[in-house]
Structure 1
Amino acid sequence: MLSTKDRRSGFSAPLRAAQYVRMSTDHQQFSPVFQRQAIAEYAAAHNIRIVRDYEDAGISGLTLRERPALTQLLVDVESPARKFTIILVYDVSRWGRFQDVDEAAFYEYACRRAGVKVIYVAEPFENDASPATCVMKALKRAMAGEFSREISRKVFLGHCVNVERGYHSGGPPGYGLQRVLVDSQSGTRRPLAQYQYKNLQTDRVVLAPGPPHEVALVRKMFEWYATRRTTATDIARRLNDFGICNGACRLWLPRNILQILRNEKYIGTNVYSRTSSKLDAPWEQLPEAEWIRVAGAFEPVIGAQLFGAVQHKLARIRQTPSRDEILSGLRKVMEKAGELNQATLKRYRSAPSVERVMREFGSLYAAYKEIG
């Protein structure tokens, strides 16, 4: 409580505030130190005492989902035990670069509804309820969202340029390959181990053949698949029987084998932008016409002729046979085996699968009836 002397001198207790600080990776001027200094100067000039600190460091402002400090702040605002009535933020963009301006407004309204005012200390307007302020905040929020969209476009174009110049665009290299760091000035190269990344923006990363035993195994996979009557399941089973683990030190699965057999980087082709997820949007598969494909970007692990033979076989397997082709396959099996049943169809690899026959005719008996 204030003493009689304080009341006579006009002294008033400082307002209690929480400060929210966020820095992504866009501009150094938004560093946490810079933001705290600006907030501290504003608090000193307006008789405000900061009692709580919330910081999201190195985090994008696109969504609330991955911002634990702001999430905790919004929870504390609703608590009856909170010790502050004001939230100090550097500017509108630090509150968030939400792609929907209404989302930023909603979180601010939730604070105001709970009796907590949000103040943007570096903005040229008072955060009151006047029409001019509402228009300015809406404009600032739209500009913050557009800034993120513009940065996303520039980053994507930068990746595209690097890919066209033959550099690796990111992600794991794949079994039988390794990432190699290239110094842009001296041209020196050194391999990067797992979880190692380049430190300088001017450095670049390319792909190169990995350990000799992995390279030899990848070549064997392609040779087995191209020259033998084998499947990805057969190759995976064979490797597991020999006790050979995949790159993650786990058992081989058929999909691991298919990922290798279908990937063009093993013939030195750099393919980028097959999928897209911009501004925290869901991942989507892009049409092949929009892919960026650069042949001869990396040193190949296998030859183009062997790769083409494997792709031809994969395409033939993926191709859906017509009704007449299924019937022709059944007749051929009938001529070879003299009988037709599930066991016979499973024994001949060239025969249509039981599942395919049933999907086309409804039952095996209906297919048998078609061929007499």
Structure 2
Amino acid sequence: MITIASPEHAQHRAPHEFLDGRLIPPYESPERAEIILAAVERAGLGPIVRPRAFGDAPLHAVHAPDFLGYLEHAYGRWVAAGGDPAAVLPSTLAVRWMDRRCLHPLVAPGYYSFDLSAPIVAGTYRAARASADIALTGAALLLEGEPLAFALCRPPGHNAGSDMYGGYCYLNNAAIAAEQLVRSGAARVAILDIDFHHGNGTQQIFYGRDDVLFVSIHADPAREYPYFGGYADERGTGAGTGFNLNLPLEAGVDDARYLAVLDQALAAIQAFGPRFLVLSAGFDTFGGDPIGDFALAAAAYPAIGRRIAALGLPTLVVQEGGYAVAALGENAASLLRGMAAEA
């Protein structure tokens, strides 16, 4: 197994997020990536490499040009217009019928952001670009014949849509990698999202497509973020009808319940017959996670890894969430050990 990581992730260090009416220190921190990297090194899972540079084209294949331009220049324009230099954070959100574009530097964040959990600081775009290159390097390794690669992406990506950001996510790393695999000749690619939170951005990007199957196991959005998407009746649209499978779960899910639902997800992927699998791997399903309410034990993660690897597909693991930092590194390494044992 090859792991791809970059120190550039540390360029994104948000000072706060706004949650449940309070401005708090962000759960998504640079320490997360360092903890995971150290655990992977201790586990001796294989070489760790820096990402290659892929330029703008793979980003434009997934994200709208105006959105990418906004992300790149948001912080500088915000500060120049008098915004708080601590971070870009919107005060007015364009929701539902409020779709007129106002691009004043102090207002544009509310057009492109759908929540208050993803502040932009001076290094955010640089870190997000590096994170996308990490995922693209992993995709390239699969195309070159590697059976398993781990993209240690930070910031994470699965909540970012084609032209919106939120949920700690700015560029959708898993979607960018999957699209690159398709454009490189793979007729079908599957994305399996096992983060506690629904990958609403990934769903939006591929919702009308029949060449990318999106399967997500997550907390029921009736009670958990992102609330406004991720329901079981969301099955795709147009050509994509039937190629989106959401498996929302109740609070307190234990290992046995989760593994049974995982088997259902894997059966759908096997029936789809993809050439590659992209795994959005979040560890906020762990019982001790501060912003999740599942009850998975540490022993669940190698079992999850073994079952996914048993599909026999070249697989790119893309890091998403997981905020129980004391257990995060070992949980990630355990999943990867399980996958590598079967690969």
TM-score by length of 2: 0.24
Q: Which has the higher helix share?
A: 1
Pick 1 or 2: higher relative contact order, CA cutoff 8 A, min separation 6.
Answer: 2
Higher Cα radius of gyration? 1
Q: TM-score, normalised by structure 1?
A: 0.22
